[in-house]
Amino acid sequence: MLTEQDQMKKAVGEKAATFVKDGMKIGLGSGSTVYWMVRKLGELVDAGVNIEGIPSSKQTEKWAQEFGVPLTDFREVKELDITIDGADEVDENHQLIKGGGAALFREKIIAQAAKELIIIVDESKMVSHLGEYPLPVEVLPFAWERTANEISKLGCVPKLRTLDGEILVTDNGNYILDCPFNKIPDPDQLNKQLKQIVGVIETGLFIDMTTKVIIGNKETVTVVE
């Protein structure tokens, strides 16, 4: 039995799959909403639609294999037709906070490589200002304490992400600092400031990348350009 939130995730994931056309190369995001989209893509493949995906995490790679979605990589593909991904926060300008699943670095690569970025969320992710969700920042393990100290000068107290009592290590071998800024008045400026800090690999701020947001609520699914 799916919860109400899972039903919304399923609905937006399946809606996103309607934008996938024969012959497309697709960036496959990460997270529980993306799960439903990958599952639907598996059905399209079964029905004879010819697509290939590039996954943004080991977890998504496993789901693609499980549902029979053929995979490729950037040795074979220069540009993706579409990337479909979830988000942790989406503001009114469709700027994003991502990285709740620690996959932000590869997610940003497949977002930038795509002609179109479709974001799939339930309505709880829509916010007026980014920042209530602590901003995930991927950092080099070497001197992460120093990197955290530099980030703190921008107005937050970064917290090293752990999982089951161990430091969480990303698919790229790095760490995640969760940075509670509370309210981010200028996401673009903060992103640029963070990227100037040596030790920051990538931030969870996705600026001016989104082309469509698919939002689910209890009754309906809305596509916003």
Check 107, 138, 150, 202 and give the catalytic one: 107
87 binds ligand 5RP (CB under 6 A): yes
**Could you give the CA distance from residue 168 to residue 164 in angstroms, rounded to a whole number?**
9
23 to 52: interface string for ligand 5RP, x by CB under 6 A? ------xxxxx-------------------
89 binds ligand 5RP (CB under 6 A): no
Sheet of 25-28: strands edge to edge? 52-55, 25-28, 82-85, 117-122, 212-216, 221-224
Residue carrying structure tokens 């995930």? 136
Among 88, 89, 138, 178, binds ligand 5RP (CB under 6 A): 88
User: Concatenated DSSP letters for 146-163?
Assistant: HHHHHHHTTT---EE-EE
Single out the segment in contact with ligand 5RP by CB under 6 A; choices: 95-103, 156-164, 182-190, 192-200: 95-103
* Catalytic-residue membership of 107: yes
State both tokens at 187.
């996401």
Q: How many residues bind ligand 5RP (CB under 6 A)?
A: 17
Which amino acid is it at 10? K
**Is 86 annotated as a binding-site member?**
yes
72 binds ligand 5RP (CB under 6 A): no
Could you give the angle at the alpha carbon of 129 between the alpha carbons of 195 and 144, nearest 5°? 30
Residue 206 Cβ vs ligand 5RP, minimum distance, rounded to whole Å: 9
Residue 63 Cβ vs ligand 5RP, minimum distance, rounded to whole Å: 12
For residue 133, the 8-state DSSP code is: S
170 binds ligand 5RP (CB under 6 A): no
Which residues, 6+ apart, have CB-to-CB distance to 166 below 8 Å? none
**Is 125 annotated as a binding-site member?**
yes
**Could you give the CA distance from residue 177 to residue 200 in angstroms, rounded to a whole number?**
10
**Is 88 annotated as a binding-site member?**
yes
Q: Closest by alpha carbon to 138, among 193, 73, 204?
A: 204
Among 24, 104, 177, 179, binds ligand 5RP (CB under 6 A): 104
Site residues (vs ligand 5RP, CB under 6 A) = 29-33, 85-88, 98-104, 107
> Active-site positions?
107
